[in-house]
Amino acid sequence: MLTNIHDAKRSLTLYCNAGKAIITKKGDLKGHCTVWFYPEGIVNILSLGNVQKKHRVTYDSTLDEGFLVFKVDGTAQSFRPFKKGLFFSDVKGDIAHTFINTVDNNKTKYTIKEYSDVLCAPSLQNIIGRPNAKDFFKYMECNMIPNCPITKVDILHAEDIFGVNIGLLQCITVWKKSSRVVTTIDKLPTEIIEMAKSHLKQTSCT
């Protein structure tokens, strides 16, 4: 969703349920503005003050609509209240939104140096038998990979950019035996059998 991800001139300290996080990157959100980027985050937080600069926003507490943010095409995105008070918009079931993560888009989250370090992780993972990330970490912690050229961060970044190793998925995918196909043979109608017999007689006579 974000493009032009880059290092910010200053950092932001974010306090949440998981504790404190220092955010050092920013990115451009299409149709909105430049926002803070935290790779480990699970939601996108938008400022109402910034949203209303780009879009018309309405709210009526007597209706169960929450905040309505009107887009350029005239449609509205609803932000409804969560049980803890925050307003959110769940786009999982919205057929008008399709988010496709490509490698090129994922690469933009990282610097050129970070991406070049990441490239060694999938290759090494294939060489040592395609372990999952948890086992990969264990091998590194136990010094089972001499002169290991990558770090745990590289492994996490590799999965974020390229996804789970294809070979690993093929190894752990269980093949299920297909159900037996039961075939039935129905008797031919008498009319068809008689027609076939007469045709054979005519053929043999000629």
Query: What confidence score (pLDDT) does residue 13 get?
Result: 84
**Shared domain check, 57 and 25:** yes
**Residue 156 buriedness (CB in 10 A; 0-12 / 13-18 / 19+):** middle
205 pLDDT higher than 60: no
**Shared domain check, 41 and 67:** yes
**Shared domain check, 88 and 6:** yes
Q: Report the share of the chain in percent with pLDDT over 90.
A: 0
**Shared domain check, 23 and 50:** yes
Give the pLDDT band of residue 169 (cuts 50, 70, 90): low
- Show the tokens assigned to 137: 């970490």
Query: What confidence score (pLDDT) does residue 168 get?
Result: 65
Number of CB atoms found within 10 A of residue 71's CB: 13
Complete DSSP assignment for 28-78:
EETTS-EEEE-TT-SS----HHHHHHHSEEEE-TTSTT-EEEE-TTS-EEE
Rg (CA), the chain: 30
- Residue range 76-89: mean pLDDT, rounded: 76
User: Among residues 44, 67, 101, which one ends one of the domains?
Assistant: 101
| Number of domains present in the structure of the chain | 2
**Shared domain check, 50 and 70:** yes
- Show the tokens assigned to 153: 């961060």
**Shared domain check, 7 and 92:** yes
Q: What pTM was estimated for this model as a whole?
A: 0.36
In a domain, 110, yes or no: yes
Give the pLDDT band of residue 190 (cuts 50, 70, 90): confident
User: Among residues 69, 101, 133, which one ends one of the domains?
Assistant: 101
**Shared domain check, 143 and 75:** no
Query: What confidence score (pLDDT) does residue 182 get?
Result: 66
Give the pLDDT band of residue 203 (cuts 50, 70, 90): low
pLDDT tens for residues 134-155?
888 888 888 888 888 888 888 8
**Shared domain check, 6 and 90:** yes
Residue with tokens 């031919």: 188
Alpha carbons 154 and 152: distance in angstroms, whole number:
5
User: Among residues 76, 101, 126, which one ends one of the domains?
Assistant: 101
**Shared domain check, 122 and 80:** no
Residues spanned by the domain of 54: 2-101
In a domain, 157, yes or no: yes
Alpha carbons 32 and 50: distance in angstroms, whole number:
8
**Shared domain check, 112 and 56:** no
**Residue 68 buriedness (CB in 10 A; 0-12 / 13-18 / 19+):** middle
In a domain, 45, yes or no: yes
